[in-house]
Chains A and B, each alone.
Chain A
């Protein structure tokens, strides 16, 4: 039978097929010779055609049924092959297909409606890493409040701070000022001294992100103050709205390899998963409300009409540390660039701080508390000191809260350093062994 041999699926020309179809339709269903298989084929094509004409939104509907059939087959194969690495407005960024379920990590801070799958994030991080290393850069994630600046609600300002309202800098040229009144947000913001120099110098060594627990509008407003030319952060401003966990910050939304990211933040608890990347900052409290919030009853910097030192403040100190880390990462280490881990570098440099010190604690931990689990003990060890529970001649420092304890008296007698716990904390913030005489232990009770 000639019809069977010229089966439509084998026919390459659609015109041939249309002619064939017309002919077979004209001859009607009375044509008994038609193969059952072929009949089925025709029915399927007919159904397909009806669907096509109903689909008004589709414009590129082909006139030829065979090719449209082939297209659907091809399309379904393509669908199966595409891994949907991410989505934009619920469409796959690779094949353009509409995706039903929302999966992956949202990157709303880059563009609304953008989501990426973990595999794609890993791929991007890897390519990006090479790019960054070629430019001798690492990633730096910066917190806003208490790290780079301090903000307060206008209604929370004390009477002693009223004078500040007359001293605010113009919002027209923010690149010079440091104290800004943001009336529309009912806020006043003070940038930390040295922040401009800090950002400028850090931008040469790092690709910088802002990551704040504030909301999006606030984060963008602060980014405008810190970076009016948009040269440091561009679209890398992450707010709490973009995070994947509540009350937590995570590097999952940061497109940088974890082994190349440093974090600057004043809150250790926000980064439970990434403590190794974290450089803890001493909090910057300029406004009185910020002091009260953290339970300090002393006068704030604003009330004392003073400020952190520009050349000697926390940011200047940290910038030196960052330079040291950057230098060590790129110039001192000699193994393969891709295998280097900034967390190890951070650890090594931190360990230099109190190298050679042997510390015994006195009246710091509760008696039953496992000593080597206490945060001060671990802090001391991270700083490179050795900790011990028993006194011996190799001990160099006794850290105590009370001058009257046996260990404290031993330290005085043996001419060892007797210091307050603040000495450890200061060394932790400043990355340098502090002069012991600045942290005396209260001796009154021993007399």
Chain B
């Protein structure tokens, strides 16, 4: 799920950035530091959309660095247990398949793939129904349900299932 929230961060800025462009420097450093990172609480920071407010800078003793408390608006992405998500399959093997939804890596074990889908080996390993009408292979798009999440400092892992109503392939690359 995406959220538009306000976060705060203390930015350390080198004295060489002081001057007319201080604000721009501060914002570009903030984007570099924050965008693409994860936090366990908020999830993956997709993009900074605006600066709410920059507080008074505090000069650090001894170093000359200045700390600014910055409040910024950003879009975060965090998967939740029970959430339905659309993802792209990145790898298919006999254990199940791996899929990605942006920064989130999802594993769907073959226990959680409908029983009528069977693993097929070959150049393009895939899970196929016995009548061959539905096929999950690399680059397929699937709709899945998250049943477990873990958010690390840099990565988000999820366990998913497609063994439920209205879940499974939504777009087959080989058909298109």
Chain A positions within 8 Å of B, measured between CB atoms, are 57, 59-60, 85-86, 88-98, 107, 110-111, 113-114, 116, 124, 127-128, 131-132, 135, 137, 207, 231, 234-235, 255
Q: How far is the CA of A95 from the CA of B159 in the complex (A)?
A: 8
Is B77 part of the binding interface, using a Cβ–Cβ cutoff of 8 Å? Answer: no
Do A60 and B107 touch across chains, with their CB atoms under 8 A apart?
A: no
- Given A88-B157, A132-B121, A234-B125, does the pair A94, B95 have CB atoms closer than 8 Å? no
Do B147 and A95 touch across chains, with their CB atoms under 8 A apart?
A: yes
- Given A110-B95, A235-B93, does the pair A89, B157 have CB atoms closer than 8 Å? yes
Chain B positions within 8 Å of A, measured between CB atoms, are 41, 80-82, 91, 93-96, 98, 105, 107, 109, 111-112, 119-121, 123, 125, 146-150, 152, 155, 157-159
Q: How far is the CA of A111 from the CA of B125 in the complex (A)?
A: 16
Do A89 and B150 touch across chains, with their CB atoms under 8 A apart?
A: yes
Do A131 and B123 touch across chains, with their CB atoms under 8 A apart?
A: no
Do B148 and A127 touch across chains, with their CB atoms under 8 A apart?
A: no
Closest to B95 in A: A124
A93-B109, A135-B121 are known contacts; what are 15 more A-B pairs with Cβ within 8 Å? A60-B80, A88-B157, A89-B107, A89-B155, A91-B157, A92-B148, A92-B159, A94-B109, A96-B81, A96-B146, A107-B95, A114-B107, A124-B94, A132-B121, A235-B91
Closest to A97 in B: B148
Do B111 and A85 touch across chains, with their CB atoms under 8 A apart?
A: yes
Q: By DSSP majority rule, is chain B's interface helix, strand, loop, or mixed?
A: strand
**What are 29 sample pairs from A and B whose C-beta atoms fall under 8 A apart?**
A59-B80, A59-B82, A60-B82, A85-B109, A88-B107, A88-B109, A88-B157, A89-B152, A90-B150, A91-B158, A92-B159, A93-B95, A93-B107, A93-B109, A93-B111, A93-B112, A95-B147, A96-B81, A96-B147, A96-B149, A98-B150, A110-B91, A111-B98, A113-B157, A116-B95, A127-B119, A131-B119, A131-B120, A231-B123
* Nearest CB in chain A: distance from B36 CB, A: 18
Give chain B residues whose Cβ lies under 8 Å from the Cβ of A132. 121
Q: How far is the CA of A91 from the CA of B105 in the complex (A)?
A: 13
* Nearest CB in chain B: distance from A94 CB, A: 5
User: Considering residues A88, A92, A98, which has the most beta carbons from chain B within 10 angstroms of its beta carbon?
Assistant: A88
* Nearest CB in chain B: distance from A126 CB, A: 11
Closest to B106 in A: A88
Q: Which 5 A-B pairs have the closest CB atoms?
A: A96-B148, A89-B157, A96-B147, A93-B109, A88-B107
The listed residue (A86, A97, A113, A255) touching B94 by CB distance below 8 A is A255
Give chain B residues whose Cβ lies under 8 Å from the Cβ of A124. 94-95
Give chain A residues whose Cβ lies under 8 Å from the Cβ of B120. 131
Q: How far is the CA of A252 from the CA of B107 in the complex (A)?
A: 22
